[in-house]
Structure 1
Amino acid sequence: MATVRDEADARRQLRAEQQRETNELVDAGPVTTASTGGIELHYDGVEALKRAIDERYDELRRHLETARALDTGLADGKGPVAHWMRRSFAVRGGAEAGGVQAALQSYLAELAVLRQTLGTVVTMHQGNDGQAAAGLPTGDADA
């Protein structure tokens, strides 16, 4: 968890995190190559992307566990805004719509669907490749 001193520091940290994530995704390798003959799917690139998705999934799952551990009631305050602050934190930290836990669960579901979709695409392409290879005439090995 990062300590933020002011709004400018928060923006600086956010930009640095976004740059780090962009660099990591670029390192995953090419997934497709387009040419005049069609599109070639690089299976190794897809596997690298699936591993990157798994890492993000695990990271979000850990954040969700932390959010659940922090989902406790706040001590009653005596000030005029204590009731409203307690209510606001309960919504934002909870599993209800608009809460941190709900958002993290939504992100986890999206990553799971993305990973499954990548697997489906690879399976379809491998099937198409197999059908195309089966349709090619087999010739003499010496030709």
Structure 2
Amino acid sequence: MATVRDEADARRQLRAEQQREKNELVSAGPVDAGGIELRYGGVDDAKTAIDAHYDELSRHLETARGLDTELADGKGPVAHWMRRSFAVRGGAEAGGVQAALRSYLAELATLRQTLDTVVAMHQSNDEEAAAALPAGDADA
């Protein structure tokens, strides 16, 4: 049981715990083995978290689609520039909110695909290593 002094301390402890959990996803194997051990359950948890973030960003992107509409108010000397600046920052062009959200979504999709690839490679290696063991030495 941890002692919490204040809200900031609670956040620090939560971040430390989350970092510890992330570090448990992949752990070093025995020194003499010279390899790593992949925790498949940890990968599934990571993919679930990625999917949750992807869904959240998708909802934000849907909301942001309404940001690139023109501003109706304003007749002063800066109205044109304000309207243009708002459209760029809210729009889908480079530097806009929608472009940033799409970029984040692409990164999450790439990360998830990479995790799938790593798992497939490790499973294949594990299967090849198991097949190479002589019969009866499965526990070796």
- In the superposition, the TM-score normalised over structure 2's length comes to 0.79
Q: Which residue of 2 aligns with 1:30?
A: 24
Task: Give, in whole Å, the separation in 1 of the partners of 2:24 and 2:40.
Answer: 10
Give the superposition deviation at 1:22.
Answer: 4.2
- 1:106-125 paired onto structure 2 within 5 Å: 106-125=103-122
Corresponding residue SS for 1:70 = helix
Task: Give, in whole Å, the separation in 2 of the partners of 1:138 and 1:75.
Answer: 77
Residue-pair matches, total: 125
Contact 1:29–1:48, Cα closer than 8 Å, also in 2: no
Q: Percent identity?
A: 69
Task: Give, in whole Å, the separation in 2 of the partners of 1:20 and 1:89.
Answer: 39
Q: Alignment RMSD, CA only?
A: 2.6
The question of 1:80 aligning with 2:95 is answered no
Q: Which residue of 2 aligns with 1:63?
A: 60
Aligned in 2, Cα 1:31/1:140: closer, same or farther, shift over 3 Å? closer
* One-letter amino acid matched to 2:88: V
The question of 1:44 aligning with 2:38 is answered no
1:96-130 deviation per Cα after TM superposition (whole angstroms, max 9, x unaligned): 11111011001101100100000000000000000
Contact 1:71–1:90, Cα closer than 8 Å, also in 2: yes
Give the superposition deviation at 1:73.
Answer: 1.1
Shift >3 Å, 4+ stretches: 18-29
Task: Give, in whole Å, the separation in 2 of the partners of 1:21 and 1:109.
Answer: 28
Q: Which residue of 1 aligns with 2:4?
A: none
Structure 2 unmatched runs, 5+: 1-7
Give the superposition deviation at 1:71.
Answer: 2.5
- In the superposition, the TM-score normalised over structure 1's length comes to 0.77
* One-letter amino acid matched to 2:26: T
The question of 1:97 aligning with 2:94 is answered yes
Structure 1 unmatched runs, 5+: 1-14
Contact 1:64–1:104, Cα closer than 8 Å, also in 2: yes
Aligned in 2, Cα 1:112/1:25: closer, same or farther, shift over 3 Å? farther
Give the superposition deviation at 1:29.
Answer: 6.8
Corresponding residue SS for 1:40 = strand
* One-letter amino acid matched to 2:74: G
* One-letter amino acid matched to 1:79: G
